[in-house]
Chains A and B, each alone.
Chain A
Amino acid sequence: MLDRSKPRAPMRQTHTPPAKAPALEVSTTLVVRRGVAFLERHPGVASLLLVLPGTIWMMLFVGIPLASIVLFSFWRSGFAGLVPDYNVENYAALLGGRTFWRITFWTYEVVIIALAGVIVLAYPAAYAIWRVVRDDRWKTAVLLLCVVPFWTSYLTRTITWLPMFGREGVVNRVLLALGVIGEPLEILLYTPYSMMWGLWSLYIVFMIGPLYHSMTKIDEDVMSAAAMLGATPLRTFFHVVLPLTRPGLMAGSLFVMVLGLGEFFTERVIGGAQNPMLAGLILRQIDIFQWASASAIAVTLTVLTLVTVSAMLRLFDLRKV
């Protein structure tokens, strides 16, 4: 196997040296060349430098707020603002209450069903784009078409649910006119079912993209080998496609999981606001200036999500090269 940990000595090619340039420019190029050579010899340092800008960015703009929030969660909420009175009341009240656990279980229930639904719905779609749609341009077209709806504000799209699925909405009117139902369906709006449908249509894009991506990396020879060996399409799917698309599946699942745990908006607008999700609790506390308990909920949610993500990565580590 190729040992890629050590840099390879480049074969020198003879070439004519560059024309004499002014002194300043020579020293700049010299520094750059020296620097690049140094980095070539020390790939560890190069790696650190590569990852540094982004990490600094995240430390500044996520690390600091997160540290602040952790700090605040141990303070008290004054009438309008925070009082640095260290205590664990916020956590005690939160974790001791039944409502918190009920809402947490409900949130996880929602996210898991959302994820399962999205996986089931996305696979055939990604497969269709990969194998059934032939031309490369059409593939790109379909993928882009899937993304374009998301360039309109989500809020605007959720508003259209009422004219679509309300009692006097398009769907109900059509179904009534066709005689399929006798009374307008109430289940289409302001119920947990409508919320789930909303979440599926929101998250499906995050799964189709990565899945399709992974599918394109599957070698055609593998597929034809399976076919030649007499595998039915279903067997091919479960024994060839599914394992080979694990990276995409994991990436998509991470997206859906993390987005779902932070979700509260769909529940309010399409779900009728009668089955709150965890992230919504934070907003409610901020409404009444209880920043300390809002921070406690945020920290708890962060911890829960981190635990969930690390559990998922244990199933399949995306970072494996």
Chain B
Amino acid sequence: MSDEETQVSRREFVHTGLQLGAALGVSGLGGLTIVGEAGAQTKRQYPWESLPAGETVPPTKLQLRTIGLGVSVQDRFLREFERRTGHKATGKVTGLTPMITEWLAGGYRNYDTNETNANRNAALWSAKLLQPIPVDKVVPWKSARDLFTNPKALGHDEVSGWPLVEIWVNPKTQQEFKLVPQFFNCDSIGYRYDLLKEDVTSWGSLVDPKYKGKVGILNDSLLTPGWCAGYMKKNNLAQIKRSDNMTRKELDTVIDFLIKRKREGQFRAIWEDYGQCVNMLASGEIWLADSWNPVVEDVKKQGVVCKYAFPKEGFTAWFHGVAVAKDTPNLQAAIDYVNFCLEGWWGAQVAPQGYYSPTTTCETYLKASKRTDPQGRFNDYEWWYLGGENEEPKKGWPIRGRDTGSFRKRWSNVMHWMVWPDDADYYAKRWNDFLSA
């Protein structure tokens, strides 16, 4: 694009941004969907590409029926998809367990795609209820991040093969997707800086008797022992080879340790749902928890001093993706949807929750928006991907940027990926022991 053209399109984007906002029922640029129309093109090659505001593509004969968690299945995203492609889009929001169980029980015939956590996808894939997507059908994949294409990338786990082994049918040739990555992040600890009066720098704080009775942990038989194992391994409290996929003996050590702490009254509550965790942190019922990133952002929005930690043992990484149902009659709609999620607009919408997009296409959208910084100095790309004022994890309060630092900083500090352990049954059994101890 020539300079002149870029100038014109930049002027245009504010205007079209406002129009887009009006079209989606938001007044003014205060609305969150407005992450700018980066160069609204009049000539589109694909239906899922960005469309100038106010226009709508006529309906097609296809429809998209998706199912997923509340973070990725949202009415606004589906409406935008419908606007751009003309495919009628409906989505069902439900929890991970009911979603996968329904799919496995034959419910996959009711949907075209599902949006799931990668560690659950292996079950669906091995049950042959999904179909592979050729990589050339996913156009934005040209701008994919290293993490999902290169085994030597920052954050890649050689031992488990994640994330490549979960995405590709054959990780070496990378020709077909089992699961198209949609968004990803890595988790640590959310804490009330104003109540703790110091920064949390280790997973050990969650099991530190200093914070007895002020800790909340997630009620998940697979994930919670995971971070505890990582903590114990890195601090030489136990001999553990793989903290993401432990043997029975290793798991026993971790669970027995957790039981000991539980009996000492370490854990105030064990949380299940997102909302519950926000609830507990915001009201001060617990001071720290192994919460998710958006929880901390939500608590911050309520004016509470809450931070996300940069633990020295590392983050626990995960990713969500879109999988396509085996015999869907709406295959083209499903493929359009996958492309839509990676095109950039979608990725920009989920960024303010701390989620990263697997392709770099969202950067143009994010750079054009300044929603997050209350002082308006940093654009959203600088805030969420580059860490704001600097790359480092932020100390103290107030902070000017993402608490845990830049993309590069975080992904060079990964403890393990949230893999589905081989011995999941034993994990569940010992977790029951823990809960009833």
B221 at the interface (CB under 8 A from A): yes
A22 CB to nearest chain B CB (Å): 50
Is B122 at the interface (CB under 8 A from chain A)?
yes
Question: By the criterion CB–CB under 8 Å, are B219 and A268 in contact?
Answer: yes
Kindly specify which of B67-75, B159-167, B171-179, B262-270 makes contact with the partner chain: B262-270
Which chain B residue lies CB-closest to A276? B435
Is A80 a contact partner of B425 (Cβ separation < 8 A)?
no
**Would you call A167 and B285 a contact (CB within 8 A)?**
yes
Task: Name the distance in Å between A161's Cβ and chain B's nearest Cβ.
Answer: 10
> Contact: B270 with A80, CB < 8 Å?
no
* CB pair A190 B269 closer than 8 Å: yes
Residues in chain A near residue B429, CB distance under 8 A: 93, 97, 99
Tally A-B pairs: CB < 8 A. Answer: 95
* Distance between Cα atoms of A167 and B214 in the complex (Å): 11
Residues of B contacting A189 with CB < 8 Å?
269, 285
Q: How far is the CA of A266 from the CA of B33 in the complex (A)?
A: 37
Q: How far in angstroms is the closest Cβ of chain A from B180?
A: 20
In the assembly, what is the distance between CA of A281 and CA of B272, in Å? 15
A162/B280 contact (C-beta < 8 A), A167-B285, A274-B270 known: yes
How long is the Cα–Cα vector from A79 to B129 in the complex, in angstroms? 13
Contacts of B427 in A (CB 8 A): 288
Majority DSSP secondary structure for residues of B touching A: helix
- Asked if A102 is an interface residue, CB under 8 A from chain B, the answer is yes
B interface size (C-beta, 8 A): 37
Q: Which A164-191 residues sit within 8 Å CB-CB of chain B?
A: 166-169, 186, 189-190
A305 on the interface (CB 8 Å rule)? Answer: no
A117 near B: Cβ within 8 Å? no
Q: In chain A, what residue has the closest Cβ to B128?
A: A80
A106 interface residue (CB < 8 Å to B): yes
> Which B residues, 378 to 437, have Cβ-Cβ distances below 8 Å to chain A?
424-425, 427-429, 431-433, 435-436
Nearest B residue (CB) for A275: B436
Q: Is B54 an interface residue (CB 8 A)?
A: no
Is A70 an interface residue when CB atoms closer than 8 A count as contact? no
Q: Does A221 contact B (CB under 8 A)?
A: no
CB pair A186 B213 closer than 8 Å: yes
Known: A80-B124, A274-B262, A284-B428. A162 touches B283 (CB 8 A): yes
**Chain A minimum-CB-distance residue to B422:** A79
Bound-state CA distance A106–B279 (Å) is 28
A269 and B433 CA atoms in complex are apart in Å by 19
A80-B123, A281-B432, A293-B425 in contact; A166/B285 too (CB < 8 A)?
Answer: yes
A293 to B429, CA, bound (A): 11
Closest residue of chain A to B268, judged by CB? Answer: A190
A289–B421 Cα distance when bound, in Å, is 13
CB of A80 within 8 A of CB of B126, answer yes
Question: A162–B431 Cα gap in the complex (Å)?
Answer: 26
Cβ-closest chain A residue relative to B437: A274
Given A99, A166, A275, A283, which contacts B433 in the complex, CB threshold below 8 Å?
A: A99
Whether a CB of chain B sits under 8 angstroms from the CB of A273 is yes
Are A162's CB and B279's CB within 8 A?
A: yes
Closest to A169 in B: B283
List residues of chain A with CB within 8 A of the CB of B270: 272-274
Q: Say yes or no: A167 contacts B425, CB within 8 Å.
A: no
A residues 264-306 touching B (CB-CB < 8 Å): 268-269, 272-276, 281, 283-290, 293
A202 interface residue per 8 A CB criterion: no
B139 interface hit (Cβ, 8 Å): no
A167 and B283 contacting across the interface, CB-CB below 8 Å: yes
Q: Which of B73-104 contact A (CB under 8 A)?
A: 97, 100-101, 104
> Contact at A288–B428, with CB atoms within 8 Å?
yes
Which chain A residues lie closer than 8 Å to B170 at the CB level?
A: none
A81 close to chain B: CB less than 8 A = yes
Report chain B residues within 8 Å CB of A186: 213, 268
The distance in angstroms between the C-alpha atoms of A93 and B425, with both chains bound, is 11
Contact with B along A14-50 (1 / 0, CB 8 A): 0000000000000000000000000000000000000
A84 at the interface (CB under 8 A from B): no
Q: How far is the CA of A159 from the CA of B389 in the complex (A)?
A: 38
Quick one: given A272-B269, A272-B270, A274-B270, are A79 and B436 in contact (CB under 8 Å)? no
Extra contacts besides A79-B127, A99-B433, A186-B268 (17): CB < 8 Å: A80-B126, A80-B127, A97-B429, A106-B436, A159-B275, A162-B285, A163-B283, A186-B213, A274-B262, A274-B267, A274-B269, A274-B435, A286-B97, A286-B101, A287-B221, A288-B425, A289-B101
Nearest first, the 7 A-B pairs at minimum CB distance are: A80-B123, A273-B270, A80-B127, A272-B269, A190-B269, A288-B424, A276-B435
- The 20 listed contacts between A and B (C-beta, < 8 Å) are A77-B425, A79-B122, A79-B123, A79-B126, A80-B104, A80-B127, A99-B432, A99-B433, A103-B432, A168-B283, A190-B268, A269-B272, A272-B270, A274-B262, A274-B269, A287-B97, A287-B428, A288-B427, A288-B428, A289-B104
